[in-house]
Amino acid sequence: MTTKEENERLCLVDDGTEMGTLFRHYWLPIALHEELPEADCPPIRVDLLGEELVAFRDSNGVVGLIDAHCPHRNAPLFFGRNEECGLRCVYHGWKFDLAGECVDMPSEPDYSKFKLTIKIKAYPTWEGGGLIWAFLGAEDAVPPKPNYEWIGVPDTHRSVGKALEDCNYLQCVEGGIDTAHSSFLHRRFGKEPGLRERDKHPKIELEMTDFGMHCASLREVGDGRTYVRVTNYLMPSMNNFGQLIDDFGNRTPAPMATSLFWVPMDNTTTAIYNVSYRLDGQPLAPGAAEDHVGRFGIAAADRIPGTYWNKANRSNDYLIDREAQRTKSYTGIEGIGIQDYAVQEGMGKITDRSTEHLGSSDTAIIAARELLLEAMDEVKSGKVPKGVDPAAQRRVRPADKFLDPGMKWREAVADELYALV
């Protein structure tokens, strides 16, 4: 059982907390490229690990991430003028560059050296995979840039989406790791039982790795066969899974993998970055990207205009349709992602894990918590935690397969779990 003390360690991400310190060892996605599409475009607000920040693309096209407030009188830099390689506060004209240096202070006399003494918080950024990334850790400990397989594929071969969730990041991460819930939460009626409905209590087996762990769920699906689906938990908060075999056991013509990265904005709000890409080196078919994000309930049409918040949310009970719940689906809620949000947000802003009663299907969740607790202990002792080195996660892939009697899953999927190059 997770104690209240452990739960606090796992969930709180503000600067100075143990989990916040752990997250500050990794590059984290902070925005989609589309949010800062061109040089000198409007800045955006970025809440990350409890810090209020502003991101802007300067006149040279480089992204800066700086404190959200001008150090003069704490005015919001979100309203700033993005011009001539800097963000200028509209209150008194103080201007800051990518490094947080004050480069102009027109409210002071020309002879004043005051601006030379002013600097605000600024963090390094990097762009890749359709995402903008930032590192909030120590300046002398910036790790190599992320190198996930999907970062290296052309834009035509991947789709990228974003959504926001109104709860602690760990509830989202554990929802991604939990494979048993798909037999229930995402079930639809009126069709032949799929693989996950034939065996609703999968056997969970794990293999620890240098990036986190392989999570194998094994289901007995008849005819003596076992269906194994291997997903990956990548430290500190990413889940990687595939769409290689459909619900009825057919190999999909366009094998896809999806990575979900849950980034804590603060203790009770999470940004979700969803990246899907082809595993066969081919571009996405026309409409495939839109269909995919729609399936997860994060298409533009499903969001509140001008935001990444979903229209179906806690305030309207996720648009649940009780008649549809009786006749069409297990929940009566449309969209796989929205179904997940309904139960994850419904646990509360930060759920009390000391009241849980975990079973055999929760093996991966228990292991993920242990990995995070161990990683915080490693950081306290001066060690580098798992997954910081991009070599650990560069080639990792999900896999699924049918096993004949007596076949071991690890041997059966050995050639599928890592890309060849």
**pLDDT tens per residue across span 158-185:** 999 999 999 999 999 999 999 999 999 9
Structure tokens, 384: 């580098």
Instruction: Spell out the residues 6+ positions from residue 92 whose beta carbon is closer than 8 angstroms to its own.
Output: 70, 72, 73, 75, 106, 107
* Angle between the N-to-C axes of helices 336-346 and 169-177, in degrees from 0 to 180, rounded to the nearest 10: 130
Q: Residue 19 to residues 23, 63, 141, 228, 324: CA-CA distances in angstroms? A: 6, 26, 17, 32, 41
Question: DSSP string of 108-136?
Answer: S-TT--GGGG-B--EE-EEEETTEEEEE-
Q: How many CB atoms lie within 10 A of CB 409?
A: 22
Structure tokens, 15: 């600067």
Amino acid at 77: L
User: Could you tell me the fold of the domain covering 149-412?
Assistant: Naphthalene 1,2-dioxygenase Alpha Subunit; Chain A, domain 1 (3.90.380)
Q: What is the pLDDT of residue 222?
A: 83
Amino acid at 98: L
389: left (phi over 0), alpha (psi -120 to 50) or beta: beta
Place of tokens 């161990």: 374
Structure tokens, 232: 């990956």
User: Could you tell me the fold of the domain covering 27-141?
Assistant: Rieske Iron-sulfur Protein (2.102.10)
User: CATH 2.102.10.10 in the chain, residues?
Assistant: 27-141
pLDDT in tens, 80-91: 999 999 999 999
Listed as ranges, residues in the chain with pLDDT below 50 are none
Structure tokens, 161: 């989406």
Instruction: Spell out the residues 6+ positions from residue 283 whose beta carbon is closer than 8 angstroms to its own.
Output: 154, 156, 157
User: CATH 3.90.380 in the chain, residues?
Assistant: 149-412
Q: What is the pLDDT of residue 245?
A: 84
Q: What is the pLDDT of residue 297?
A: 63
> Model-level pTM?
0.95
Going edge to edge, which strands form the sheet with 51-57? 44-48, 51-57, 63-67, 122-123
- Look at residues 240, 204, 267, 237 and name the one whose alpha carbon lies nearest to residue 409: 204
Count of helix runs (H) and strand runs (E) in the chain: 9, 19
Distance separating the N- and C-terminal Cα atoms of the chain: 41
Q: What is the pLDDT of residue 209?
A: 96
- Look at residues 48, 295, 285, 37 and name the one whose alpha carbon lies nearest to residue 161: 295
Amino acid at 197: E
Going edge to edge, which strands form the sheet with 81-82? 81-82, 87-88, 95-96, 102-104
Q: What is the pLDDT of residue 48?
A: 98
CA angle 303, 307, 310 (to 5 degrees): 30
Q: How many CB atoms lie within 10 A of CB 111?
A: 5
Structure tokens, 75: 């005015």
The answer to whether 358 and 4 are in contact (CB under 8 A) is no
Structure tokens, 308: 């990444």
